[in-house]
Amino acid sequence: MQVEFLIIGQGISGTWLSYYLQKANKSFIVIDNEQPNSASRVAAGIINPVTGRRIVKTWMIEELLSFLVPAYKEFGNELGINAIEQKSLIDFHPTPQMKIAFDERVKENADLLFNPKDQWQYQNTFNYDFGFGEVNPCYVVNLKEILPGWRKKLLSNNQLLEENFEFEELNHSNSGVIYKNIKAEKIIFCDGIGSSKNPFFKNLPFALNKGEVIFIESADIPSTHIFKKGMMLTSIEKDLYWIGSNYLWEFPDDHPTEQFRNQTELLLKKWLKVPFKIMDHKASVRPANIERRPFVGFHPAYKNVGILNGMGTKGCSLAPYFAKQLADHLVYTKEILSEADIKRFTKILTR
């Protein structure tokens, strides 16, 4: 079988890359082993334009939002689903000091941060003492339907192999790559944390980060907003809510822990005034890195070996934009943004 591109991984990165290559009429095969706890399968899909205790705008957010909102809508139309939903974030102030800090930031970011007049409108649902601020617009990406929806399309077009990619079976040279019975011009790794052990890219400065999530059932929480108090709470389907997450830089394995479950259950009992039932508990590892910038482009020593990775905590906002950059690079030889291009790691990749 001969194709132009071989893509490893169908998380949010491999999904968007294969989508844009499809749109450009390029031929490809995706290989994915459907790990149930891969980051894209555990994530909530939240896009929050501000971050941290200082509530600052995230990197490139204006440009990313103006690109990704129409991109998700178009992708959703193609899959016959609602791929993205705008929801504002209700950020309950944990202390009076944090309320003051938020109020200060409202003055500087009047396009995103708001101080709603009725500060007690959620008091039937939540316990809170110091009011709340609102971040708007935020978005929730429908990962639960996008990933299987696109997978189904790829399968029906014979463009997806549901198997484990084995490095030992790969031969690569300056004229292309051969993997088992597949000949391709280039191979592109969208394998999430897999790339941190990948012989071509393991020297990139990955800093893997574990996160855990609890799923609860409740009929009484408004599904219209994302709620935050220490952790984020958002609806992912009727009466089912996602609450997470923590950020661990050191961890013995990628399994859910009793400690997180107990802590989160306690938080929910204190925070929620309405009944809820814990339905599930998952853990995953984010393909994060020290710089907090994506890894995009081709290996400086192996011109047919590429990567789209390093999405960290922000795969839903970064993957579509940088998949398009990589696809445009492949189709029209356009430049990749230098802050994301792995050319910046030429020294360590050619060591």
Ligand X SMILES: Cc1cc2nc3c(=O)[nH]c(=O)nc-3n(C[C@H](O)[C@H](O)[C@H](O)COP(=O)(O)OP(=O)(O)OC[C@H]3O[C@@H](n4cnc5c(N)ncnc54)[C@H](O)[C@@H]3O)c2cc1C
Of 110, 111, 11, 93, the closest CA to residue 53 belongs to 93
Cβ of residue 264: shortest distance to ligand X, in angstroms? 12
**Closer CB to ligand X, 99 or 149, in the complex:** 149
Least Å distance between CB 242 and ligand X?
8
Q: Which two tokens stand for residue 94?
A: 């944990």
| Cβ neighbours for 61, distance < 8 A, ≥ 6 positions apart | 49, 317
In the complex, the smallest distance separating the C-beta of residue 272 from ligand X, rounded to whole angstroms, is: 20
Provide the minimum distance between the beta carbon of 135 and ligand X in the complex, in angstroms, as a whole number: 14
C-beta separation of 177 from 322 below 8 A: no
Least Å distance, CB 214 to ligand X, is 10
| Least distance between ligand X and beta carbon 125 (Å) | 21
Q: Which is nearer to ligand X, 72 or 99 (CB)?
A: 72
SS3 253: coil
**Which one, 193 or 221, has the nearer CB to ligand X?**
193
Considering beta carbons, is residue 133 or 315 the nearer one to ligand X? 315
Distance between CA atoms of residues 12 and 150, nearest Å? 10
Residue with tokens 């479950």: 261
Cβ partners under 8 Å of residue 299, min gap 6: 200, 201, 305, 306, 307, 342, 349
Give 34 or 291: the residue with its C-beta nearer to ligand X: 34
| Alpha carbon distance 31, 196 (integer Å) | 18
- Cα–Cα separations (whole angstroms), residue 324 to 26, 148, 154, 321: 13, 21, 18, 5
As given in the structure block, the two tokens for residue 270 are 């204190």
Q: Between residues 55 and 296, which has the closer beta carbon with respect to ligand X?
A: 296
- Smaller CB distance to ligand X: residue 133 or 294? 294
The minimum distance between CB 133 and ligand X, in angstroms, equals: 19
CB of 45 to ligand X, least distance (A): 5
- 303: CB partners within 8 A, 6+ apart: 174
Could you list the beta-strand ranges (E) of the chain.
Answer: 2-8, 28-31, 46-47, 50-51, 56-57, 84-92, 113-114, 132-141, 160-161, 170-173, 176-179, 182-189, 209-217, 225-229, 231-237, 240-244, 277-286, 295-298, 305-309
Which run of H or of E encompasses 149? helix 143-156
Q: List Cβ<8 Å contacts ≥24 apart for 234-237.
A: 234/44, 234/46, 234/87, 234/140, 236/44, 236/45, 236/140, 236/144, 237/144
Nearer to ligand X, 43 or 79 (CB): 43
> Between 130 and 215, whose beta carbon lies closer to ligand X?
215
Q: In the complex, what is the shortest distance from the CB of residue 103 to ligand X, in angstroms, rounded to a whole number?
A: 26
Footprint of ligand X on this chain (CB under 6 A)? 8-14, 31-35, 38-40, 42-46, 164-165, 190-194, 211, 213, 244-245, 284, 286-287, 309, 311-317
CA distance 128 to 33: 43
